[in-house]
Structure 1
Amino acid sequence: MFEGFEAGLIQVEGAEIFTRHGGAGPPVLLLHGHPRTSATWHRVAPRLVAQGFTVVCPDLRGYGRSRGPAPAADHSAHSKRAVARDLVAVMRTLGHRRFALAGHDRGSYVALRLALDHPEAVARAALLDCIPISEHLSRITATFATRWYHWFFFAQPEIPERVINADPDGWYHGDPLSMGQENHDEWRAAIRNPEVVRAMLEDYRAGLTVDRRHEEEDRAAGVRLRCPALILWSLKDDLEELYGDPLRIWRDWADDVRGHGIDSGHHMAEEAPEALATALTGFFTTEPEDAGPEDAGPEDAGRDPSPP
């Protein structure tokens, strides 16, 4: 996987983030979801490099080979705000002050928070298989609570750790054929590490508490995405079934919203890498509507050649 990429740990305040990066050109940051690692992008990242991008794929705080602080009572140590700060620091360490961004599943919530908290850093944001956490929680139905029950199970203290760690292979299911053997092996090693399991659960506990509060505070203050937003969703998953057109929801959060469904199951980076890479490439190389002098064009979609 990731032929030609460099990989290693990057120290940030309170955490160390395992990061893969490669290519040359405008920088793109790719954020994975639960329970994956950065390896989930192994079929997409090389395609973006071939299109002329620098691609950065980190493991989120506590996932994979990244490590963060011990969990906090209020779950703030694993909040999307804390993780977003990690990633801004990672990108600056690599020499990128402004960049394009894509996040999937839990990584999409980090991407949203990063774009809201650090608008000067994000040229464009692609948000995959998601609506904001607060929008999910304000629309709870019996169908959502049944299908997405893990959100609420993971929020329980201690119980999910005991259940998952007793049989991680029984709880999580991965197919090496669809995932790719190396990606599968890396993912399987991660889910069998109790420290990683705890951090992944803290991600969900933060989602229902501190992350929800941050989103609601932003809505009350009128904070919106300043950058163009691409919304993509898996047609074989249930986001559209639950909420109709996701773009209608996202227009309450951003002025420049576009997007469409991808013919894929939930893990689109593994199941439909060509379609996803094509959509991301088109978005990252298209001028935003009413582009001003601070907007990044296709030649420099966020790259800042000055040192951090």
Structure 2
Amino acid sequence: MTAREIHKVRTPSLALAYEEHGAGDEVVILLHGFPYSPRAYDAVAPALVAQGLRVLVPHLRGYGSTRFLAGDTPRSGQQAALGQDLLDFMDALAIPRATLVGYDWGGRAACIVAALWPERVRALVTGDGYNIQNIAVSGTPAAPEQEFRYWYQFYFHTPRGHLGLDANRRALCRLLWQLWSPTWRFDEATYAASAEAFDNPDFVEVVIHSYRHRYGYAPGDPALEAIERQLAAQPVIGVPSISLSGLDDGVGPPPEEDDDAVHFSGPYRRRLLPGVGHNIPQEAPEDTVAAVLELLQR
């Protein structure tokens, strides 16, 4: 099976694309973020397969080869949609339990399933800790330097930002790669390989909705409201977890004191990664693999 062989599985709302490697009994699901793609795990997947693991790498909604089944399904990027997609993916492939690895949007999906359906999660490797949004307090201003880092989110709240992402998606996302991982020297071929995923016909609508919904500026999909109500309670995560945080993360540098620890009730550790920015698995594949293997040895 090649690194680029794409499979599809039907969920209630998606023809969900994924890449599969290995055939072990233990399943590891690797979840990418925005604006990234499954290529973030190209060095991680084979290292896990070499340890006898079955590795699945989904294309999130709005990315790569994943497509909506119906034209009238809301192109939602809200957190509940990401969590539900992951659960549906596991159900469609009859996977009762898996180790979840994710960062950014993928980390949010992984944290949601770990919090709400812990019986389905063997262990969790999460980029930057607890990724479940607290939408109720999203209108509270942050420190000015953090607000500055969120410029792209405020841009996406405007009609101009919507048009700008549509017209300049590759250039804009490349800029985010540079700003969020300022010490990572990626080449053009590396970026181009991931940027192919942004040509998905639903990419712009899903991204724009994601950044508007999390601030309460766009309504959610009514079908997902029950999950959003559960997430509003900020549920704790009880599965064994490791948080990986890049010290050079340009969008959300990790604080000295881990203020996410309170959201984890099970075995939990935070690892700070020097010289690593926001794109953790692609910048630090060895650390990512080591975290998975450590959890599976418990």
> C-alpha displacement at 1:214, in angstroms?
4.1
Partner of 1:142: 144
Deviations 1:156-211 (A, max 9, x none): 3x332211222223312169973683x53342233345531221222222333359
> Which of the numbers 190, 193, 204 marks the counterpart of 2:211?
204
CA RMSD across the alignment: 3.1
Cα distance, 1:208–1:115 mapped onto 2, change above 3 Å: farther
What residue in structure 2 maps to residue 293 of structure 1?
none
Q: Distance in 1 between matches of 2:202 and 2:252?
A: 34
Whichever residue aligns with residue 60 of structure 1, its letter is L
* Structure 1 residues 117 and 150: alpha-carbon distance in aligned structure 2, compared to 1, 3 A threshold: same
Gaps of 5+ in 2: 179-183
253 and 208 in structure 1: CA distance in 2 versus 1, 3 angstrom threshold: farther
Match of 1:269 among 281, 287, 292: 281
After superposition, where does 1:37-116 map in structure 2 within 5 Å? Answer: 37-68=37-68, 77-116=76-115
SS of 2:90 mapped into structure 1: helix
- Note the alpha carbon deviations across 1:10-60, whole angstroms, 9 max, x for none: 111011111011112200111101011122211111111111211110011
Mean CA deviation greater in 50-59 or 131-140: 131-140
- 2:122 corresponds to: 123
Number of aligned residues: 277
SS in 1 for 2:82: helix
Q: 1:218 deviation in Å? A: 2.1
Taking the aligned partners of 1:257 and 1:15, their CA distance within structure 2 comes to: 33
Amino acid in the other structure paired with 1:55: V
CA distance in 2, matches of 1:109, 1:271: 19
Task: State how far apart, in whole Å, the 1-side matches of 2:267 and 2:251 are.
Answer: 21
1:24 is aligned to 2:23: yes
**Partner SS, residue 167 of structure 1:** helix
Asked if structure 2 preserves the Cα contact closer than 8 Å seen for 1:6 and 1:22, the reply is no
Note closer, same or farther for the CA distance 1:85–1:179 as it changes in structure 2 (3 Å cut).
Answer: farther
Q: Against the structure 1 CA distance between its residues 131 and 120, is the aligned structure 2 distance closer, same or farther, given a 3 Å change threshold?
A: closer
Deviations 1:239-267 (A, max 9, x none): 77463333x32323433221211231221
Q: Is the contact between residue 29 and residue 101 of structure 1 (CA under 8 Å) also seen in structure 2?
A: yes
Distance in 1 between the 2:228 and 2:94 partners?
32
Mind listing any 5+ residue stretches in structure 1 that lack a counterpart?
Answer: 288-308
Map of 2:241 onto structure 1: 229
CA contact (8 A) 1:33 1:107 kept: yes
- The structural deviation recorded for 1:98 is 0.6
Asked whether the 8 Å contact 2:9–2:93 carries over to 1, the reply is no
Secondary structure at the counterpart of residue 189 of structure 1:
helix
TM-score of the two chains, using structure 2 as the length reference: 0.80
For 2:181, the equivalent position in structure 1 comes to none
Contact 2:241 2:267 in 1 (8 A): yes
Compared CA separation, residues 19 and 192, structure 1 to 2 (3 A): closer
**CA separation of 1:97 and 1:5: change in aligned 2, threshold 3 A:** farther
Give percent identity, aligned residues only. Answer: 23
Task: Give TM-score, length-normalised by structure 1.
Answer: 0.78
